[in-house]
């Protein structure tokens, strides 16, 4: 399993990216026990390390949000959305070209999704 190979190499960010993929597969397969285990580990990493070392940090936050919704933990899901949104906005703030920034925000599926989730959460608060 890729997760274990990355762990052995000490590539913790890549390990967690792989773990996010495993969590998504577990949810899709209906294996909520395994999904919970992977999500818990992924979420702990995200809370302790933030986006540090992740190749797909916003996808990791989106995975946590989706998983927590499936598992009924709506407070954790809302926090995952907030953290993912903050990560997207922090990265977008470093893009000077308006067209590139717009593309970054709207043409990357997980960025667009987390922004929409955040907007939905903000409207319902």
Higher pLDDT, 4 or 64: 64
> What pLDDT shows up at residue 49?
87
Kindly report, residue by residue over 57-82, the tens digit of the pLDDT.
Answer: 999 999 999 999 988 999 999 999 99
pLDDT at 101 over 90: yes
Structure-token pair, residue 98 = 């308006």
Question: What's residue 4's pLDDT?
Answer: 66
The whole-number pLDDT of residue 10 equals: 59
Residue 25: half-sphere exposure toward Cβ, Cα within 13 Å: 6
Tokens of 21: 């993929």
Percent of the chain with pLDDT over 70: 89
Average pLDDT over residues 35-55: 90
- pTM, two decimals, is 0.88
The mean per-residue pLDDT over the stretch 77-89 comes to 96
State percent of the chain over pLDDT 90: 76
Interior/surface letters 90-122, b for 16+ CB within 10 angstroms, e for the rest: ebeeeeeeeeeeeebbeebebbebbbebbeeee
């Amino acid at each position: 399993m890729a997760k274990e190979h990355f762990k052995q190499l000490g590539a913790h960010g890549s390990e967690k990216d792989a773990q996010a993929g495993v969590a998504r597969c577990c949810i899709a397969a209906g294996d909520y026990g395994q999904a919970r285990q992977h999500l818990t580990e992924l979420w702990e990493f995200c809370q302790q390390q933030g986006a540090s070392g992740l190749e797909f940090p916003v996808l990791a936050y989106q995975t946590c949000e989706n998983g927590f919704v499936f598992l009924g933990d709506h407070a954790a899901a809302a926090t995952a959305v907030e953290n993912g949104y903050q990560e997207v906005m922090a990265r977008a703030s470093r893009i000077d070209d308006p067209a590139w920034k717009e593309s970054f925000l709207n043409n990357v599926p997980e960025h667009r999704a987390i922004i929409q989730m955040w907007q939905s959460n903000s409207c319902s608060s």
